[in-house]
Structure 1
Amino acid sequence: MRCYFNGTLLSTVLPPVLGTEFVFGVLGNGLALWVFCFHMRPWKSSTVLLFNLAMADFFLNMALPFRAMYYISNIEWKFGHAMCNICLFMLALNRSGSTLFLMAIAVDRYMRVVHPHHPINSLSITKAIWGAFAMWLLTISLTVHVFHLKHVNTTRCESFMVDTEMHHNLNWHKFEFLLVFYVPVLVVLYCTFTIIGHLRRRQLAQQAKFRKALWFIIVVAVLFTVCYLPSNIAQLLIWIQTKQLVSKLPDSEVCSALEDLTIVFYITISLTYLNSVLDPIVYYFSSPVFKNICRKVFHLSQTDGGESIEVKTREKGSQSLSQL
């Protein structure tokens, strides 16, 4: 038996949240794509990763208005079964794509700071594009199952339904939801703490360019935590509590006992969409060129945009290592 909950609170809270995320997501990522496509020349391998992260956010922005209308209509889907699956696929594609590309960006910064002479730091644009293409194939393979989700209630458009039969709660969709968070977050945290330790051991953390590189990786780690951790904790708690309640209560009482926790999950999953608003902060910290263009657009004073953080990181890393 699937649990269907009263959506009064969700219909009140989520439409303005989703609407705000849509507006600022379109503005921020529209600016980012404009900068990447028309003002950043030449591209580097790191630029390819940032561009694809912005594209993942673009897919999310296309789905948010439909989700907002869904909640405005008191959780009644009015756009048909096919459009429901397309919308859910866009949401899943953004979630998986964003976490994988953020992980790749963290690894890229880790390699440039901790292993500045590694050949991967000189990866050609062509190879970087092929690498990004492979990541998209992986992302699509992880999320394409959304098109096969069955919606028993045709007025609902949800991919995370609580089921009182535990084996139905252990489906691939929920496993993939947890997988694409916990694996990347472990990698991001490893890169973050390794970079911090490396800079402290080399006594480089106070130098301006290294401080920027440090702030960048911290921003990625914080973004990961704020956007994705709450919903993943809520999903784990739902699974654990469902398992406990099914063994104690009759099926008719399980859903009511899980209602509050499920509503918390739906609210926290809206935080995952916040990544499309906050990702431009990653672009801003990652590239002096991107930063200067943004400052020019908003008529702010320019910063030193001569060399990229990565180049200076490699040069100073080389000098420091040669002095040891």
Structure 2
Amino acid sequence: MSSQQNMSTDRMLDHCKAPNNGTYQALSYLMIGEFVLGLPLNLSVLYIFVFRFKFWKNKSIFLFNIVVADFLLVALLPVKVYHYQHGVRRSDNDVVCKMMLFMLFLNRGASIAFLIILSLDRYFNVVHLGRRNCVNVFKKSPQISVIVWLLLLPLTIPTMVKTFECCNSHGRVKETYAHDVTDTFREVVFFIQIIIPFIILVYCTVRIVSRLKKKTVGEKTKLRRAVCVVMSVVVVFAICFLPCAIARAVLLGVRLQNMQGAEDIAVQVYDSLMVLSYTDCLLDPLVYCFCNSGFKDAYISTFCPTFLQKKLLTYDSGMGTKATTTTSGGRTNSVPIIEK
């Protein structure tokens, strides 16, 4: 009887072992695909932003910060692949485990924060055109981006607390008060950083679309670009962030009910959707293209074949964007919605 109880206890404590090796092997190969596609894509985007587009001169500092967050995420994928292929959800080394969660929380928070800032920028420049707004002022200051990163740090502290179990959460084991507070804070941060930005995003989208319907035909080209920006961010949220938040809520509910069989399934669904969320490093370049046609033109002229350049750049000019020449020799366009 005592032996069975010990096995049950071990089962409860060994919660970071993969409940189904086949599922995690498949997820590891999916992450390999994300890494193989994401690494060259994000390196090429970094190259364009730094050497061709010169983001600091084109008021695209917030976009550059999203690139940095995406690149850091891609760099972490090989570690996750290694763990999944060895049948565990995280490293046995507590330091590695906590650092991985710390970086994932930080990168996810940064990506969401800067995507929402971009959406707010479009909102203010469309719905409140002509008025001074803090976003328009902030985007001209590199220091603001540093402050955003620093503000995100306190939200990642729960992953570094000594009493924090990397894969533990409410309902798993009997917790101390400090442990319970840490877990609660982590879960609150996880949901707030997705739900509140999504509400803001929906509001901005509705207001911009409403503004578009009221404008005359001649002004609609600029507004359509703004709609494309916020809709591209909606797509990123709908694919990468919302599903894993819903799966997390279901997992916590099942765990509190102490339903081990259902929890094994919920864990696999949650981890699968978390792996899907890593595709934001592949989807974010769509946001860059919609946000700034200058970046798009610089990217096309650098990496696309000549025959494709002509078609894509001709299509872009047909959308009513204004072309200028950068110091790097690449063709860039100002964005009327941002630049006033």
Shift of 1:257: 3.2
Shift of 1:7: 3.5
Shift of 1:10: 3.3
**Counterpart of 1:283?**
288
- Map 1:94-243 to 2 at 5 A: 94-120=107-133, 123=137, 128-148=141-161, 150=163, 158=167, 163=172, 165=174, 168=180, 171-204=184-217, 207-243=220-256
Change in Cα spacing, 1:205 to 1:70, as seen in structure 2 (3 Å) is farther
TM-score w.r.t. length of structure 1: 0.83
Instruction: Report the identity percentage.
Output: 25
**Counterpart of 1:35?**
48
| Conservation of the 8 A alpha-carbon contact between 1:22 and 1:65 | yes
Letter paired with 1:274 = T
| Conservation of the 8 A alpha-carbon contact between 1:59 and 1:93 | no
**Counterpart of 2:335?**
310
**Counterpart of 1:260?**
265
5+ residue gaps in structure 1?
A: 247-253, 316-324
Cα distance in 1 for residues equivalent to 2:73 and 2:170 = 21
Q: Deviations over 1:247-292 (max 9, x none)?
A: xxxxxxx323321112111111112211111111111111111111
Q: Deviations over 1:179-231 (max 9, x none)?
A: 11011111111111110011112245983332222112111111111100111
Cα distance in 2 for residues equivalent to 1:2 and 1:64 = 26
- Map 1:61-100 to 2 at 5 A: 61-75=74-88, 80-100=93-113
Change in Cα spacing, 1:33 to 1:112, as seen in structure 2 (3 Å) is same
Q: Which moved more, 1:159-168 or 1:78-87?
A: 159-168
Letter paired with 1:256 = G
Higher relative contact order (CA 8 A, sep 6+): 1
5+ residue gaps in structure 2?
A: 1-11, 325-332
Cα distance in 2 for residues equivalent to 1:95 and 1:42 = 22
Secondary structure of 2:88's aligned partner: coil
**Alignment partner of 1:21 is 2:38:** no
- Let me know the Cα RMSD of the aligned residues: 2.8
| Conservation of the 8 A alpha-carbon contact between 1:112 and 1:314 | no
| Conservation of the 8 A alpha-carbon contact between 1:199 and 1:205 | no
Q: Which moved more, 1:66-75 or 1:24-33?
A: 24-33
Cα distance in 1 for residues equivalent to 2:87 and 2:254 = 27
Cα distance in 2 for residues equivalent to 1:230 and 1:122 = 31
TM-score w.r.t. length of structure 2: 0.79
Q: Which moved more, 1:98-107 or 1:210-219?
A: 210-219
Q: Deviations over 1:58-81 (max 9, x none)?
A: 221121100000001111756733
Change in Cα spacing, 1:37 to 1:240, as seen in structure 2 (3 Å) is same
Secondary structure of 1:306's aligned partner: strand
Cα distance in 2 for residues equivalent to 1:28 and 1:149 = 37
Q: How many residues align?
A: 302
| Conservation of the 8 A alpha-carbon contact between 1:88 and 1:159 | no
